[in-house]
Every structure is written in C-alpha cells, then in structure tokens.
Amino acid sequence: MAERVALNLLQRMCGIATLTSLYVQAVSGTKARIVDTRKTTPGLREVEKYAVRVGAALIIAPASMTECSSRKTIFAAAGGITEAVSRARAYIPHTLKIEIETRNARTG
C-alpha cells in the first residue's frame, strides 16, 4: 500500500516539474518569467515547490518579503541610483517592490 502512495506522489511531482519546464521553454527568449503561486496541495507544499524549482521556474518570495528598501548611502556605494537598482534586481525576486528613499526628486 505505501509503495503505491509513494509512486503516486513521485508521479505527481514529475508531472509538475515536466509541465513547469514546458512553460519555461515556451517563454524562453522573451521577457516573461514563469513563477510559482502560493497555492499548493495541503501537506505537500515543500515537495511541490521543489518540483517547480526542478522545472526551472522562479519561486515567489515568502509573504513576509514585500519590498526592498535602499538609502542614499547605498546609492553612493553602488555608483548611483541606476546601478543600485540594477544590482538589487539581480538579487531579489521580480515580485518584490524596490523602494527608493530620497529627499526630493532632484537629489536622488
């Protein structure tokens, strides 16, 4: 009995990974990104997220991560606002908002 359950679970995860990979391939060469959703089967969240990663999709950040904040000192160290934002984008999920704190629109 346990063998059948294990095989069913393995089939499900392989199906998720395969379908995810097909979607990722379908949008390759475009600016589109395939990301997972927070909707998973109860009790299977971790293994389903793993299957999505195996399929090469992006994983959405945890709900507690809602934005990326920076300040003037960070901009100066990075060589300016544009460079700081580019670097931030390279390291955070695209679903996160980047918030820039300035005194006014001119000073940056």
What are the residue numbers of the active site? 39
Nearest to 16 by CA among 38, 43, 36: 36
Which residues does residue 35 pair with via DSSP β-bridges, in sequence order?
58
Tokens for 92, please give them. 């955070």
